[in-house]
């Protein structure tokens, strides 16, 4: 059975551009409930840990620099079929390929600075939520 939670970040480009509110509005209007949320900033080392699965990819070093370049918002979201539905809401990794009306189509600046993160599986949603939030911060 699909889990009902996913994890998201509003990435530095969208936070810096002042688009966090508009993005959170789209997330809520799509039926997701925010069950944990904070504004924070990653160190390069923490960004490296978060995206460790990509460590062999050519864009990894740049990605870690970019993800630690400014504040982000991290949140755990709840909805039926959360992981899949959220990936549909954010659109393709490269905004040039993202469907009309998706968050990345509207707000992303490039394939790297692509406005939001969305977990790609139930397992990773749980791992990523635990990366940012202690059990004491997840009381909802």
Pick out the residues of the known binding site: 11, 59, 87, 93, 104, 114
- Within 8 A by CB and 6+ apart from 103, the residues are 23, 26, 27, 89, 90, 91, 115, 116
Q: Which does 65 bind (CB under 5 to 8 A by kind): ligand ATP, Mg ion, none?
A: none
Active site residue 117: yes
Q: Which does 4 bind (CB under 5 to 8 A by kind): Mg ion, ligand ATP, none?
A: none
Residues 39, 36: Cα–Cα separation, whole Å: 11
Give the binding-site size for Mg ion (rule: CB under 5 A).
1
Q: Which does 59 bind (CB under 5 to 8 A by kind): ligand ATP, Mg ion, none?
A: ligand ATP
- Our CB check for ligand ATP shows the closer of 121 and 135 to be 121
63 binds ligand ATP (CB under 6 A): yes
Element (H, E) at 5: strand 5-10
Residue 93, classified by CB atoms within 10 Å of its CB into exposed (0-12), middle (13-18) or buried (19+), is: middle
For the segment 77-136, give every residue that binds ligand ATP (CB under 6 A). Answer: 93, 111-112, 114, 117-118, 120
Measure the CA angle with vertex 65, ends 63 and 69; round to 5°. 115
Q: Which residues would be at the binding site for ligand ATP (CB under 6 A)? A: 54, 59, 63, 93, 111-112, 114, 117-118, 120
Active-site residue list: 117
């Amino acid at each position: 059975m699909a889990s009902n939670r996913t994890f998201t970040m509003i990435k530095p480009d969208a936070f810096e551009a002042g688009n966090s509110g508009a993005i959170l509005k789209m997330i809520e209007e799509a039926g997701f409930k925010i069950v944990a949320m904070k504004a924070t900033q990653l160190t390069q080392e923490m960004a490296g840990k978060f995206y460790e699965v990509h460590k062999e990819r050519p864009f990894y070093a740049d990605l870690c620099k970019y993800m630690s370049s400014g504040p982000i918002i991290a949140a755990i979201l709840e909805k039926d079929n959360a992981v899949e539905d959220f990936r549909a809401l954010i659109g393709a990794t490269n905004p040039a390929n993202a469907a009309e009306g998706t968050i990345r189509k509207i707000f992303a600046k490039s394939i790297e600075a692509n406005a939001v993160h969305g977990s790609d599986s139930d397992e990773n949603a749980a791992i990523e939520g635990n990366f940012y939030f202690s059990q004491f911060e997840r009381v909802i």
